[in-house]
């Protein structure tokens, strides 16, 4: 079902530039933007030097940071920028994207009496665990919100660990989803005829994503080739970009999402080596929908969503990881079986179901 789902007007904001990488941006675009959004909303994001998605209004607020007095000055600037254009009487429900960062406290100050739903994205919990100011923001957002939406039970557990005063009754489990069209009409797979094991990494090259284990293991697998889809700045700063002779690979750039879908079928395996919890795992699910098997580190969140539909291995042990990769190369029937079970798993998470559940929750509060 892809029909536009309507309830009362929703206001939401994400204090990130429109071109920022990451699942938070993708989920926001999927649900709230475009010519026919699944959730009818007024959406605000920070100004960025790129094409603006349909339905997004830009705001200027410099000084984005995480700690101390400078953070609260940044929130004041966000609040002032939003107050210039938001009509409180035209808003029924506020959707707070993240329990932390700047947009949520700015919206709370702007509309203190409006009912609010907070959506946990994962990076907010990570920030709150390491930054005292963000932990304070998390507590304020939790106290203000009538419902707190988590995509996995792992996110609920982590939230309760951070803030044990949160009422369990206000935590609502709504899984994220992938576009229905991807589930029903995925790209056709392309096959290699030379026996090469074509491995894809798609994501940021930050420490928690665990990328460094990949090329160490792949260099020990004859006939394996690594492709990397990552932000250009992070790739340029990573040692692998300067060591192509030692670590042969193909850099694909930071691909637009639909372009990434087209790239998935040209590979045999997506590897997801995250070292810490993942809020959900949109990219692995989209890969499965496109018929690309997944090998992942069984961290909270990913383990819940992928389970046995993908291979999981402790990637801290590169010897074990190398052995698994060699096994996949030697026995292609394993990959064939994973394609089928992966497609069935991805079909469990249509984006339309996410939108329907959020709309119902908005009406209920």
At 233-288, the pLDDT tens digits run: 999 999 899 888 888 899 999 988 889 999 999 999 999 998 888 889 999 999 99
Cα(81)–Cα(95) distance, integer angstroms: 18
| Model confidence, pTM | 0.89
Query: What are the pLDDT digits (tens) for 302-347?
Result: 999 999 999 999 998 889 999 999 999 888 899 999 999 999 999 9
113 shares its domain with 192:
no
Cα(298)–Cα(142) distance, integer angstroms: 28
The highest-confidence range among 202-206, 294-298, 327-331, by mean pLDDT, is 294-298
State the pLDDT at residue 77: 97
108 shares its domain with 168:
yes
Domain range for 89 is 5-177+350-364
Question: Residues near 333 by Cβ (< 8 Å), separated by ≥ 6?
Answer: none
| CATH (domain of 144) | 3.40.50.2000
Across the chain, what does the average pLDDT equal? 91
Number of domains the chain is built from: 2
Cα 24 from chain centre: 5
Alpha helices in the chain (DSSP H): 23-32, 68-83, 103-110, 123-130, 132-144, 153-162, 180-184, 212-218, 232-237, 257-263, 282-289, 302-306, 318-330, 332-346, 351-364
In whole angstroms, how far apart are CA 218 and each of 251, 304, 326?
15, 27, 9
- Of 75-84, 124-133, 209-218, 258-267, minimum mean pLDDT range: 209-218
Q: Residue holding tokens 């889809």?
A: 229
153 shares its domain with 294:
no
In whole angstroms, how far apart are CA 19 and each of 9, 26, 156?
25, 10, 29
8-state DSSP, 149: E
* 265 in any annotated domain: yes
342 shares its domain with 354:
no
* 182 in any annotated domain: no
pLDDT-derived band of residue 206, with 50, 70 and 90 as boundaries? confident
153 shares its domain with 17:
yes
Region at 128 (left for phi over 0; alpha for psi -120 to 50; beta for the rest): alpha
pLDDT-derived band of residue 165, with 50, 70 and 90 as boundaries? confident
Q: Residue holding tokens 């790209």?
A: 187
Q: Mapping DSSP to helix (H, G, I), strand (E, B) and coil, where does residue 345 land?
A: helix
Greatest alpha-carbon span in the chain: 64
Is residue 29 within 8 Å of 48, Cβ to Cβ? no
């Amino acid at each position: 079902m892809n029909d536009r789902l309507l309830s009362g007007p929703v206001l939401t904001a994400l204090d990130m530039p429109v071109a920022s990488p990451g699942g938070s941006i993708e989920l926001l675009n999927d649900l709230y933007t475009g010519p026919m959004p699944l959730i009818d909303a007024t959406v605000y994001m920070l100004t960025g030097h790129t094409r603006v998605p349909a339905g997004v209004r830009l705001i200027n607020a410099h000084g984005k940071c995480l700690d101390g007095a400078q953070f609260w000055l940044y929130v004041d600037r966000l609040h002032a920028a939003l107050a210039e254009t938001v009509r409180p009487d035209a808003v029924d429900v506020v959707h707070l994207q993240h329990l932390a960062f700047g947009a949520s406290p700015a919206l709370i100050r702007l509309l203190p009496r409006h009912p609010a739903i907070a959506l946990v994205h994962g990076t907010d919990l990570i920030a709150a665990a390491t930054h005292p100011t963000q932990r304070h923001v998390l507590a304020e957002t939790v106290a203000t919100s009538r419902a707190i939406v988590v995509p996995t039970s792992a996110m609920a557990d982590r939230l309760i660990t951070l803030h044990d005063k949160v009422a369990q009754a206000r935590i609502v489990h709504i899984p994220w989803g992938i576009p229905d069209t991807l589930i029903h009409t995925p790209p056709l797979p392309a096959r290699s005829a030379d026996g090469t094991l074509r491995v894809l990494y798609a994501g940021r090259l930050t420490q928690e994503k665990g990328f460094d284990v990949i090329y160490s293991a792949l260099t020990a697998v004859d006939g394996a080739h690594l492709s990397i889809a990552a932000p250009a700045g992070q790739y340029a700063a990573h040692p692998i970009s300067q060591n192509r002779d030692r670590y042969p690979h193909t850099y694909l750039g930071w691909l637009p999402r639909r372009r990434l879908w087209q790239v998935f079928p040209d590979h045999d395996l997506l590897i997801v080596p995250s070292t810490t919890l993942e809020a959900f795992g949109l990219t692995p699910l989209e890969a499965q929908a496109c018929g690309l098997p997944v090998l992942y580190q069984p961290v909270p969140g990913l383990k819940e969503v992928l389970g046995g539909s993908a291979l999981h291995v402790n990637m801290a042990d590169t010897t074990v990881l190398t052995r698994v990769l060699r096994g996949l190369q030697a026995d292609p029937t394993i990959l064939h079986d994973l394609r089928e079970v992966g497609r069935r798993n991805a079909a469990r998470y249509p984006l339309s179901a996410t939108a329907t559940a959020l709309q119902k929750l908005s009406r209920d509060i």
